[in-house]
């Protein structure tokens, strides 16, 4: 700290400080500046609102690769199966429901209940026996029954056990046998489909989110464990995606318009957008990415609970 010496010097210094701040009185306050910025920003109009700029696209080539997708017969899993098939991969869809695209020669369906370890082992063995290798496992099969939207004290034992066995044990069983094969070939990628609920929570969802958080930590631990075996493991956390699982609980979540408006981008995501992320993470373009999570959530995770909500868009 500077020593101003005698009281006369101190008085002079104080006068300088007072004069300096007085000279700032002609400048607008921070509140005024902020108001002007916000006003200018809100009044700004696009120079050419009818012109659509090029958006860019990415195409992946997964020719010759073997991909196993659990829960691949609908929703996000179906989009992932289709994405890999379109990019040339041989896809094994492991699901209790039949695969809908019967004419897709690149997709082989195997009836699989992922809560049964023997079914998971059989699905991996089928992929290897039929195609000679396993390059990618996508752990996607999961449930969130409407009856599970309760306080933990009201949780039904059957709901809890089913969600544990499918959403958690199913991921573990599939990885157990997939990783054995991948370690032998010294290459492979596992993608765990997690959820935005793994990162934040709300009332009435005592099981799904905590399990999805575990799916992320599974990917982290497996990624570290097998990093020197040529194997990468990652997870993807979707926001609300237009799938049968989400649509079955739309009313409980406030309706489609309300759910969409919670996302800064103002809409629900599409299954194909999650598939695009998985195709990228599974490719050589993501070769330095492992043991981490990718949010594909329309900005949901970035939006603070303390922030003012976006205005509800008018009905079309």
Listed by start position, the domains of the chain span: 66-298
Q: Is 8 exposed, middle or buried (0-12, 13-18, 19+ CB in 10 A)?
A: exposed
Between CA 310 and CA 308 the distance in angstroms is: 7
Which residues are known to be catalytic?
Answer: 208
Taking Cα atoms as reference points, which of 83, 100, 81 lies closest to residue 92? 81
C-alpha dihedral over 218, 221, 227, 233, to 10 degrees? 20
CATH architecture of 66-298: 3-Layer(aba) Sandwich (3.40)
Per-residue pLDDT of the chain (316 residues; tens, 9 = 90+): 444 444 444 344 334 333 433 343 444 444 444 444 444 455 556 666 678 899 998 999 999 999 999 999 999 999 999 999 999 999 999 999 999 999 999 999 999 999 999 999 999 999 999 999 999 999 999 999 989 999 999 999 999 999 999 999 999 999 999 999 999 999 999 999 999 999 999 999 999 999 999 999 999 999 999 999 999 999 999 999 999 878 877 776 778 888 899 999 999 999 999 999 999 999 999 999 999 999 999 999 999 988 999 999 877 6
């Amino acid at each position: 700290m500077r020593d101003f010496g005698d009281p006369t010097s101190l008085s002079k210094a104080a006068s300088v400080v007072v004069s300096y701040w007085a000279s700032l009185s002609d400048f607008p306050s921070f509140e005024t500046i902020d108001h002007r910025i916000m006003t200018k920003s809100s009044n700004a109009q696009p120079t050419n609102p009818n012109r659509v700029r090029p958006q860019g696209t990415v195409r992946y080539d997964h020719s010759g690769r073997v991909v196993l997708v659990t829960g691949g017969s609908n929703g996000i899993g179906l989009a992932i199966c289709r994405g890999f098939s379109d990019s040339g991969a041989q896809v094994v869809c492991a699901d209790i429901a039949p695969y809908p695209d019967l004419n897709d020669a690149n997709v082989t369906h195997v009836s699989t209940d992922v809560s049964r370890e023997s079914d998971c082992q059989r699905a991996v063995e089928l992929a290897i026996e039929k195609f000679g290798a396993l390059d990618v496992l996508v752990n996607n099969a999961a449930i969130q029954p409407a009856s599970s939207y309760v306080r933990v004290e009201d949780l039904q034992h059957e709901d809890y056990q089913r969600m544990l066995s499918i959403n958690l044990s199913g991921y573990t069983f599939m990885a157990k046998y997939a990783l054995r094969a991948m370690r032998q070939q010294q290459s492979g990628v596992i993608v765990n489909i997690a959820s935005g609920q793994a990162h934040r929570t709300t009332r009435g969802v005592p099981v799904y989110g905590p399990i999805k958080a575990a799916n992320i930590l599974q990917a982290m631990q497996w990624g570290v464990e097998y990093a020197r075996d040529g194997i990468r493991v990652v997870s993807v956390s979707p926001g609300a995606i237009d799938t049968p699982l989400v649509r079955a609980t739309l009313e409980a979540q406030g309706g489609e318009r309300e759910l969409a408006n919670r996302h800064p981008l103002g809409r629900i995501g599409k299954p194909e957008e999650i598939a695009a992320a998985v195709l990228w993470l599974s490719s050589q373009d993501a070769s330095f990415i492992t043991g981490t999570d990718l949010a594909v959530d329309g900005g949901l995770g970035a939006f603070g609970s303390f922030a003012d909500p976006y205005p509800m868009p008018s009905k079309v």
